[in-house]
Chains A and B, each alone.
Chain A
Amino acid sequence: DVKVTQSSRYLVKRTGEKVFLECVQDMDHENMFWYRQDPGLGLRLIYFSYDVKMKEKGDIPEGYSVSREKKERFSLILESASTNQTSMYLCASRVQGAVSNQPQHFGDGTRLSIL
């Protein structure tokens, strides 16, 4: 089974802090994704990475950055946390199918509260 592990289930930080959310997958997947999930808004893509050292902006990248130094690890960084970044953050990974599309597999999320 695919295992996507997010380092923290719950995190509380203060406004203005730099926040790091870590995600590790153990299936040698090329693609990794960061989403946030908010009531009524569903899942929204923040950033994704097709492979090591690569990154692409998603739909809502403002206020965030990412790092992919190793294939198995994809980090989301809140440069200066603000209260509107309080949310559930979900990481996903996916094998880059050579022929056909493949599903994304998710971690259990980090519930982040910014005070």
Chain B
Amino acid sequence: GESVGLHLPTLSVQEGDNSIINCAYSNSASDYFIWYKQESGKGPQFIIDIRSNMDKRQGQRVTVLLNKTVKHLSLQIAATQPGDSAVYFCAENDSGAGSYQLTFGKGTKLSVIP
């Protein structure tokens, strides 16, 4: 619950503005990436995924950008709402390694200012 958010980078955004949450990954062989949202007291919720043959994918109010050159992933949330307040973290997988284990980032706490 609340303890998930301790010691995490925090992003504060005004309601209605766009949010950009960043994630650097380490394995250049990773070819599948996921963004999760975790609200206080709940489990991680799948938001959007992207495969390495793409550099951009859009969902409802969210866009994920993938830059394989610099091993960087970002999640853009349009018109941020109070309900978007949560911890967001990325996850990566190297399908070629023959495993479906995910490597998770530590997360970023998004706080939306009403």
Contacts and interface: CB of A to CB of B under 8 A. Distances in A.
A58 B41 CA distance: 24
- Which residue, B100, B106, B107, has most C-beta atoms of chain A within 10 A? B100
A58 B6 CA distance: 25
A37 B46 contact: no
Interface residues on B, range: 20 to 34
A90 B3 CA distance: 14
Contacts of A37: 4
B1 A101 contact: no
B49 interface: yes
A43 B104 contact: yes
Given A101-B51, A107-B43, A39 B7 contact: yes
Nearest to A31: B100
A109 B42 contact: yes
A39 B43 contact: no
A73 B41 CA distance: 23
Interface of B: 1, 3-4, 6-7, 31-32, 34, 36, 41-46, 49, 51, 89, 93, 95, 100-102, 104-107
Interface of A: 4, 31, 37, 39-40, 42-43, 45, 48, 58, 88, 90, 94, 96, 100-101, 103-109, 111
